[in-house]
Amino acid sequence: MKNKIWLITGISSGLGKALAESVIEKGDFVIGTFRKQSQVDEFNEKYSNRAFSILLDITDEQSIERNVEKLVSKFDSIDVLVNNAGVGFVGAIEETSMEETRKVFEANFFGTLKLTQAILPHMRNEKNGHIVQISSHGGIKAFAGFGIYNASKFALEGFSEALSQEVEPLGIKVLIVEPGPFRTNFAGNGLGEAEKVIDDYSDTAGAFRTKLKGVDGKQEGHPVKASKAIIDAVYSENITLRLPLGKVPLMTIGMKLDSVKSDLKKNRKIAEQAVYE
């Protein structure tokens, strides 16, 4: 089995960094993206001949198009795309400005969508490839104070689920990874917060904000173990559409499924009556 070439966005820290290092350790080749030139230079010096990194702003469409063309020309093909780059954000819906919302969606949804679209023609040409979308258990289950982030990940999951059906006949597989809380910088300096604070939401969104920041550095998730699970999934012959990672997602996603099933059961007769006879 030939070694794969991976394109992983956002490898400066957290899960992206752990995944890049685990892929390199396995013997596959990593193309990673950073947002600082100093990080690019340091990475390329450290992993010469085993990996390569570029400067890429996931929110810049022209930068995505330009870099993908250069990479495909340089490496012939990209076997695995991992859309990892993104941002965290907390704040009640009413507290969050449209500008703050757009910034979250530019990184978590539009940037991921654009890069996926840019890579797809090359994977279609090869009739092979994996697209790994780093979502969240918050892409299935929403939480008070996390609504804008939830919305961006719900959107990611929606297009990825449809995409999996579109590209499966073309030899391309899609994997949606749904991590719970992991011991990364997500809840630390990397977490965005709504500038506006409304006291009426202190017991809901405010409590969630405090709780999320309070678990920084204490999360259950192990980035390296998660990375190896992702690699194993990509190499698996029986890849599933979704891959929850951690004990918390098993609980929260299970709660969401139970809630939806309960609503379906309670409203079945109403739903059945809302049709032409």
- Taking only the tens place, the pLDDT of each residue in 152-210 is 999 999 999 999 999 999 999 999 999 987 655 554 466 889 999 999 999 999 897 88
Rounded average pLDDT over 33-51:
94
| Cα distance between residue 235 and residue 229, in whole Å | 10
Confidence at residue 148, expressed as pLDDT on a 0 to 100 scale: 97
Dihedral of alpha carbons 62, 64, 70, 73, sign: negative
Phi and psi at 151, nearest 5°, equal -60, -40
Instruction: Please give the model's pTM, rounded to 2 decimal places.
Output: 0.93
Q: Across residues 82-103, what is the average pLDDT?
A: 96
Rounded average pLDDT over 140-161: 97
Average pLDDT over residues 56-81: 93
Closest CA to 243 of 142, 122, 131: 131
pLDDT above 90: residue 263 = yes
**What percent of the chain lies above the pLDDT cut of 70?**
94
Nearest Cα neighbor of 19 from 247, 231, 244, 182 is 231
Residue 101 has pLDDT above 80, yes or no: yes
**175 DSSP β-pair partners:** 132
Please, which pLDDT band fits residue 2 given cuts at 50, 70 and 90?
Answer: confident
Average pLDDT score over residue span 83-90: 94
Q: What is the pLDDT of residue 58?
A: 94
Q: Average pLDDT, whole number, for the chain? A: 93
State the pLDDT at residue 17.
93
Confidence band, pLDDT 50/70/90 cuts, at residue 214:
low
Residues marked active site are found at 135, 149, 153
pLDDT band per the 50, 70, 90 thresholds, residue 32: very high
**What is the domain class of 5-251 according to CATH?**
alpha beta
CA triple 141-226-63, angle to 5 deg: 80
Identity of residue 173: K
pLDDT the model gives residue 209? 85
Range 54-71 average pLDDT: 94
Give the distance, in angstroms, between the CA of residue 273 and the centroid of all CA atoms in the same chain: 39
Write down the pLDDT at residue 212. Answer: 76
Q: What is the mean pLDDT of residues 102-109?
A: 96
- Mean pLDDT for the stretch of residues 116-121: 97
Residue 113's closest CA among 156, 76, 151? 156
